Amino acid sequence: MTERPLVLLDVDGVLNPARRATLRHRRHDIVLDGRTFRVLLSARQGRGLLALAEATGAELVWATTWEDHANTEIGPRLGLPPLPVIAVNGDPGSRAGEHFKTRHVAEYVAGRPFVWFDDSLGIADWEYLKDHPGVGDFLLVEVDPEDGLTDGDMTHAGDWLAARAAGVDDAGTCSPEPAP
Single out the residue of 7, 8, 13, 149 in contact with Mg ion (rule: CB under 5 A): 13
- Extended beta strands in the chain, E state: 6-9, 26-32, 35-41, 59-62, 114-118, 138-142
Question: Which residues make beta-bridge pairs with 122?
Answer: none
Distance, CA of 173 to CA of 157 (rounded, Å): 13
Compute the least distance from the CB of residue 108 to Mg ion, in Å: 17
Q: Interface mask (CB under 5 A) for Mg ion, residues 108-147, using x and -?
A: -----------x----------------------------
Compute the least distance from the CB of residue 100 to Mg ion, in Å: 11
Single out the residue of 10, 125, 137, 147 in contact with Mg ion (rule: CB under 5 A): 10
Whichever of 13 and 17 has its CB closer to Mg ion, that residue is 13
Q: Considering CB under 5 A, how many residues would be counted as binding Mg ion?
A: 4
What is the 3-state secondary structure of 24-57? CCEEEEEEECCEEEEEEECHHHHHHHHHHHHHHC
| Stretch touching Mg ion by CB under 5 A, among 2-10, 80-88, 102-110, 168-176 | 2-10
Q: Which residues contact 167 (CB under 8 A, 6 or more apart)?
A: none
What is the end-to-end Cα distance of the chain in Å, rounded? 27
Whichever of 45 and 164 has its CB closer to Mg ion, that residue is 45
- Residues forming contacts to Mg ion in the complex (CB under 5 A) are 10, 12-13, 119
